[in-house]
Amino acid sequence: MANVGQGLVPMIEVWRGERLESLHHGHAVICDGSGAIVDAWGNPGAVIYPRSSCKMIQALPLLESGAGAGLSARQLALACASHQGARMHVEAVDRWLDDLGMNETDLRCGAHEPSDRDERNRLICSGDSACQLHNNCSGKHAGFLTLNRHLGGGPEYVEPDHPVQRAVRAAFEEVTGEDSPGFGIDGCSAPNFACTLGGLARAMAAFSAADAGGDRRAQAMVRLREAMIEHPDMVAGEGRACTELMRAMGGAAAIKTGADAVFVAILPRHKLGIALKIADGGTRGAEAAIVALLVRAGVLDAGHPAARKRLGGPLTNWRGKVTGEMRLTSGFPD
């Protein structure tokens, strides 16, 4: 194992010309199907908020309860998504709510402008305002509403003591193998339960090792990971790392980012789970680090354009001039 038990380790270098301009430090853990740590950089015991990287865990009660039995793979991918509010995402969530006999006002995720350029331009030109359907977590919240209908809870399903969130916490603690030390409120107003990075990798390894012939939880894990792999466009969107890298890997992995530079990967063919956290919260460092680990695992070609876009390719300015590059540090991930 590499650097196990140490503090933050340098992972990604950013060079401008001949000078090192930035250095991203972090932690990363790889677990096998038994939950054992097979490699680590930094401290596997570092406690983090997994943020949106754990959406597939938050969706487990939806399937385990039977509430989501009739949902399509596309809807399950959306339940695990941090989508960019493209028209296809907005319409899919709207149809899901309509099937429930509900509408946008039943969501509790809040509204924000879509990151999808075409949808943002459409809103500007039409004079319409962004609504909660555009929230990157609206698919997850549609899943919460589906579970809530099954459980018979009240409308404030994001409250930490609500039956929906109690079910989420129970599943989260079981698959991470840890009692969560607490929670923070996420950008979408739902509680985000803390865990160690090792616990998060352990949970991803459980998803990777799950078999469709297993128990109810294993079946739920398989449906969620396969939905993400089958519908990478629903998990994020065009130009986004999760979508582009899953396409590049051709079904070999399901990956998911989280705010403040968390990234996870589920590798079912290898029965491995990966979790990483870049300490400075920078997306570029997290994307470069997950590319490095996926290449190391043999599921991603380092020369693929989706990989080189985030690590190993040239950095250019607005005129297309090469200004530098992103490199791996000497100790990561070897």
* pLDDT at residue number 109: 98
Contact 50, 114 (CB under 8 A): no
Q: pLDDT tens digits, residue range 180-235? A: 999 999 999 999 999 999 999 999 999 999 999 999 999 999 999 999 999 999 99
Cα–Cα distance measured from residue 150 to residue 170, given in angstroms and rounded to the nearest whole number: 17
Count of structural domains, the chain: 1
Cα–Cα distance measured from residue 38 to residue 57, given in angstroms and rounded to the nearest whole number: 22
Q: Tell me if 323 is assigned to some domain.
A: yes
Q: What is the 3-state secondary structure (H, E, C) of 73-110?
A: HHHHHHHCCCCCCCHHHHHHHHHHHHHCCCCHHHCCCC
Element (H, E) at 209: helix 197-209
* pLDDT at residue number 334: 85
Q: Dihedrals φ, ψ of 167, to 5°?
A: -65, -40
Amino acid at residue number 307: A
pTM above 0.75, yes or no: yes
Q: Tell me if 110 is assigned to some domain.
A: yes
Bridge partners of 74? none
Q: Tell me if 256 is assigned to some domain.
A: yes
Would you say the C-alpha torsion 262, 263, 264, 270 has a positive or negative sign?
negative
What count of Cα atoms within 13 Å lies in the side-chain half-sphere of residue 334?
Answer: 4
Average pLDDT over residues 91-115: 98
Q: Tell me if 3 is assigned to some domain.
A: no
Taking CA 254 as the corner, what is the angle to CA 23 and CA 131, rounded to the nearest 5 degrees? 85
What are the DSSP calls for 286-312, one per residue?
HHHHHHHHHHHHTSS-TTSHHHHTTTT
Q: pLDDT tens digits, residue range 125-172? A: 999 999 999 999 999 999 999 999 999 999 999 999 999 999 999 999
CATH code, domain with 98: 3.40.710
Q: Tell me if 100 is assigned to some domain.
A: yes
Non-local (6+) Cβ contacts of 145 within 8 A are 97, 100, 102, 106, 107, 157
Q: Tell me if 157 is assigned to some domain.
A: yes
Is the pLDDT assigned to residue 5 strictly greater than 60? no
Cα–Cα distance measured from residue 87 to residue 90, given in angstroms and rounded to the nearest whole number: 5
Q: pLDDT tens digits, residue range 11-48? A: 999 999 999 999 999 999 999 999 999 999 999 999 99
Choose among 24, 1, 31, 13: nearest CA to 264. Answer: 31
Q: Dihedrals φ, ψ of 248, to 5°?
A: -65, -30
Contact 285, 24 (CB under 8 A): yes
Residues spanned by the domain of 166: 9-328
Element (H, E) at 219: helix 216-230
Q: Tell me if 85 is assigned to some domain.
A: yes
* pLDDT at residue number 4: 55
Lowest mean pLDDT among 96-100, 139-143, 329-333: 329-333
Q: Tell me if 1 is assigned to some domain.
A: no
What are the DSSP calls for 115-166, one per residue?
S-HHHHHHHHHHT----GGGSTTHHHHHHHHHHHHHHT--S-TTSTTSHHHH
Instruction: Please state, in angstroms and as integers, the Cα–Cα distance from residue 316 to each residue in 6, 16, 239, 313, 326, following that order.
Output: 35, 10, 17, 9, 11
* pLDDT at residue number 39: 97
Is the pLDDT assigned to residue 258 strictly greater than 90? yes
Is the pLDDT assigned to residue 104 strictly greater than 70? yes
Bridge partners of 324? 16, 315
Average pLDDT over residues 102-112: 98
Choose among 197, 83, 64, 181: nearest CA to 140. Answer: 83
